[in-house]
């Protein structure tokens, strides 16, 4: 499934919270025609991580890689060692 956030949800100088509550989300796309300040992204369950995250010791990671934003929280439900092994394969 995909979560696509429509630009009509955004208003100038306001904070907008977006919930994308689906199982097996393959992509979350947020497109803005002007400046977009992304304050916080939380991923609560994943089955893989990006290769750049393999060296991290914890899942408390927020970053931008290749123009994409990645984040995880302490509430992460994935097996971190399993995710690391998948990265290293």
Please list the pLDDT of the chain residue by residue as tens digits (89 residues): 666 667 676 777 777 776 777 776 666 666 666 666 666 655 555 544 555 455 555 444 445 445 554 555 444 444 555 555 555 55
Whether 27 and 54 share a structural domain: no
DSSP string covering 8-65? GG--TT---------SS--EEEE--SS------------S---GGGTT-SSS--EEEE
Whether 48 and 25 share a structural domain: no
- Count the domains in the chain: 2
Whether 3 and 26 share a structural domain: yes
Whether 25 and 50 share a structural domain: no
Structural domain harbouring 22: 1-38
Question: Which pair of tokens denotes residue 68?
Answer: 């994409």
What pLDDT is stored for residue 14 in this prediction? 74
């Amino acid at each position: 499934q995909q979560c696509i956030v429509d630009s009509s949800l955004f208003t100038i100088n306001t904070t907008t919270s977006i919930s994308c509550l689906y199982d097996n989300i393959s992509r979350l796309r947020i497109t803005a025609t002007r400046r977009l300040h992304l304050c916080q992204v939380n991923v609560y369950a994943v089955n893989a991580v990006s290769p750049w995250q393999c060296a991290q010791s914890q899942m408390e990671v927020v970053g931008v890689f290749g123009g994409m934003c990645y984040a995880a929280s302490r509430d992460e439900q994935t097996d971190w060692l399993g995710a690391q092994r998948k990265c290293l394969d």
